[in-house]
A and B are shown apart, each in its own frame.
Chain A
Amino acid sequence: DAKTTQPTSMDCAEGRAANLPCNHSTISGNEYVYWYRQIHSQGPQYIIHGLKNNETNEMASLIITEDRKSSTLILPHATLRDTAVYYCIVRVEDNFNKFYFGSGTKLNVKP
């Protein structure tokens, strides 16, 4: 699976949009971009995933660049409960394929 690069930490004001970048310049054509988050001392929680089109669900939006070498996770109106470590993972969509986690981005949402 392709390697991803994320900033170590980011701050965001409560109520504002949080934009979390991810670089995956070695992504291959059949690899999806997944985003998970982990709130302290809990298991990771699925947020969103996509292949090449932008995706949106009730939690977030995923913007993937046209060359697919990077993506941005957008939390439109961050709340204090969104404070967590956000992981960007690139992998082939296969139920038996493993998830390898990188270091992630610690998002601090501040009042």
Chain B
Amino acid sequence: GAVVSQHPSRVICKSGTSVKIECRSLDFQATTMFWYRQFPKQSLMLMATSNEGSKATYEQGVEKDKFLINHASLTLSTLTVTSAHPEDSSFYICSAVDPNYGYTFGSGTRLTVV
């Protein structure tokens, strides 16, 4: 089946710094990837749709200048949390669509801002 790899799996950063999270589709090309955020004991919340070669589209209430998304190739999308603050601490998950296997999710990135 399709595999989506996320890196890093967990990261701790200082308040005010920026953090980049990578999402890679292995063995398939993904023109579209999705980014989710999940707070403790809550469901996944869709943040944005990442489109290869074009601007990402953000869900209502998600700050595009805060969460920068770059989808420069058919196998890689990155999410950069800029000027991170403790309230940005969360579990970030990406997904990609494989034409043969459909939606596949990454294993997630635990971000802790201290």
Residues of A within 8 A of B (CB): 36, 38, 41-46, 85, 87, 95-96, 98-104
CA distance A102 to B34 in the complex (A): 16
Check B110 for interface membership: any CB of A closer than 8 A. yes
Task: List the one stretch of B14-22, B61-69, B76-84, B101-109 in contact with chain A.
Answer: B101-109
**Please, how many angstroms separate the alpha-carbon atoms of A36 and B88 in the complex?**
25
Q: Which of B31-49 contact A (CB under 8 A)?
A: 32, 34, 36, 43-46, 49
- B residues adjacent to A (C-beta < 8 A): 4, 6, 32, 34, 36, 43-46, 49, 91, 93, 95, 97, 99, 102-108, 110
Q: Is the CB of A87 within 8 A of B43?
A: yes
By a CB distance below 8 angstroms, the chain B residues around A100 are 46
Please indicate the chain B residues that have their CB under 8 angstroms from the CB of A102 in the complex: 43
Contact A46 B104 (CB under 8 A): yes
Q: Are B103 and A99 in contact (CB under 8 A)?
A: yes
Which residues from B are CB-within-8-Å of A38?
44
Task: Given A42-B108, A43-B106, A46-B104, check contact A96 B32 (CB 8 Å).
Answer: yes
When C-beta atoms are compared, the residue in chain B nearest to A91 turns out to be B103
Q: Which residues of B contact A98 (CB under 8 A)?
A: 34, 46, 49
A86 to chain B, nearest CB (A): 12
